[in-house]
Structure 1
Amino acid sequence: MKITFSPPQDDAVWGCTYQHVTSSAADKNIKLCFVEVKDLHAFATALVEVVLDNSWITNLDDRYRRAYSKTVSQTAAKLVNTFNKTASGGNVESDFGETMVSMGSSRALEMLFTHLRIPLAELWKPQISQNGGFDFHTTCLEKFINFGEAKYSSSANPYTDAISQAQDFLNDDKHLRDAPDLENLVDKQSMSYLDKDDFGVIAAFSVNAQKPELILANAFLAAQEMMKVKKIKNFYLVGVR
């Protein structure tokens, strides 16, 4: 399998570059991209601004606004503390690393595939720290909701962990368990597709290998295997370095 990278697209605000990645294997429903964080301080600063932006809550009706406000304030404080520590110290710890992969991936999908980013799941789920389901979500131009799972390692390339975790979550219907909250965050057409079991999956993972093309090729093959047993409209693979 031949893996080809497009020229990098710069994002000075987030301190990143993004690249489309294409595979010689003919499977148009598996899409790949690669993110490289060039400026960790800029990236962490951008995350603070995203987390503190509560404009999405103001668009909700009073009942849901009251329900989400406490969770958002508690979680945002925790995340901002983590982001600021990274911005000042320049070190990627595990808590920041997984959020870096999640939000870097959703930003890349926004920039490269015109996805809409949905507020980070940790902001609207009821506990500050949990492994209760998918880490992040987007909607694509086709209006499908895409359920994202992120895995970070300081030394490995955990694409198998991200893909297998996503499959486990689907087996446990955790994408459907997100539906009552997503109903407030996406449009009606996206929810109607989900009701018909039409949705996408994102597997996002850190890349530490010298040759990321090898990691993305292996991730592509693993995604193909998962799509043989799961009804998934699109499978997005995002490597983050």
Structure 2
Amino acid sequence: MNIIDFRKICFDKHNRAYFLRVQPDDLKDTLSQIFYVLSNLSWISNFDEDYIRESFQERAKATLADIYAKITTSSTDEVSSDAGEYVVSELAREAIVDKLGYLDIPLAELYNKKKSGNPGFDFHSQSLDEVIIFGEAKYLDDRNAYGSGLKQVVRFISDKKDIKDLADLRDFCSQNALSSVSKGMKGFAVAFSAKSTPSDTLVSNIIKNKDFISLLQHQEIIIVAVNI
């Protein structure tokens, strides 16, 4: 994975609105690497209680079987629609951790109760000043998916899915970060599949999007374009 663009956007209105663009390596290698990363359950060993480790282990095991089935339907030059969202989610999550130095939290499907079809945000992180980032990923095979991603984040906020995610995040995030969310201090990431549109054009269109504009009230907005 290569991060080929990283910049602040909308900096006249917001000091922490970022755009990142990710270029995956060879698709077959990318799919293998993603499954390898997701299969690395070493994060479970960070928990002291045996019953917590066992609970996360069983949840993750069922999810990994489902992810493996979806990833293996992809060919060497085309990602399946089922696997596409995992690719976007994981590469965006890794880019945020690598470029911004934010907290490395596994994809939500690995630790929540459902084995697939996560009912909340797809991924999370925590900034250096203890703001939780709630991330949503969208994959479309025929167009840039930022519009769908932005719209869903706004809808999720309205449905209070960020608040609902806190019970699962208490094992990963700091107490300060968790308590700040209910006070309105939170950030959001929108990751989307991108086509060949130049980054300048993407950014120009995104900052005019009404859903993006509505997100400017929050502490941080991270937009991640993934070239697949």
Q: Is the 8 A contact 1:51 1:79 kept in 2?
A: no
Q: Is the 8 A contact 1:21 1:34 kept in 2?
A: no
Aligned to 1:116, the other structure's residue is in SS state: coil
User: Residue in 1 aligned with 2:224?
Assistant: 238
Query: By how many angstroms is 1:186 displaced?
Result: 1.7
1:56-105, CA deviations, whole angstroms, 9 ceiling, x for partnerless residues? 2122223322332222101012213433454x634211111111111111
User: Residue in 1 aligned with 2:167?
Assistant: 180
Tell me the TM-score normalized by structure 2: 0.89
Query: By how many angstroms is 1:121 displaced?
Result: 0.7
Tell me the TM-score normalized by structure 1: 0.84
Q: Is the 8 A contact 2:64 2:110 kept in 1?
A: yes
Query: By how many angstroms is 1:131 displaced?
Result: 5.0
User: Residue in 2 aligned with 1:64?
Assistant: 52
What is the alpha-carbon distance in structure 2 between the residues aligned to residue 183 and residue 107 of structure 1?
21
RMSD: 2.0
Runs of 5+ consecutive residues of structure 2 not aligned to the other structure: none
1:131-179, CA deviations, whole angstroms, 9 ceiling, x for partnerless residues? 5111111111112110001101111111111011011111111111111
What is the alpha-carbon distance in structure 1 between the residues aligned to residue 212 and residue 152 of structure 2?
15
Does 122-131 or 101-110 show the bigger shift?
122-131
User: Residue in 1 aligned with 2:157?
Assistant: 170
Aligned to 2:99, the other structure's residue is in SS state: helix
Query: By how many angstroms is 1:235 displaced?
Result: 0.6
Number of residue pairs matched by the alignment: 224
Q: Is the 8 A contact 2:66 2:116 kept in 1?
A: no
Partner AA of 1:237 in structure 2: I
Query: By how many angstroms is 1:181 displaced?
Result: 1.0
User: Residue in 2 aligned with 1:42?
Assistant: 29
Partner AA of 2:26 in structure 1: D
Query: By how many angstroms is 1:113 displaced?
Result: 1.1
User: Residue in 1 aligned with 2:80?
Assistant: 93
Q: Is the 8 A contact 1:150 1:205 kept in 2?
A: yes
Aligned to 1:178, the other structure's residue is in SS state: helix
Does 57-66 or 31-40 show the bigger shift?
57-66
Q: Is the 8 A contact 2:73 2:80 kept in 1?
A: no
What is the alpha-carbon distance in structure 2 between the residues aligned to residue 210 and residue 140 of structure 1?
29
Runs of 5+ consecutive residues of structure 1 not aligned to the other structure: 1-14
Aligned to 1:210, the other structure's residue is in SS state: coil
- After TM superposition, the structure 1 = structure 2 runs for residues 34-183 of structure 1, keeping only pairs within 5 Å, are 34-60=21-47, 61-86=49-74, 89-130=76-117, 132-183=119-170
**Following superposition, which runs of at least 4 residues in structure 1 exceed 6 angstroms of deviation?**
none
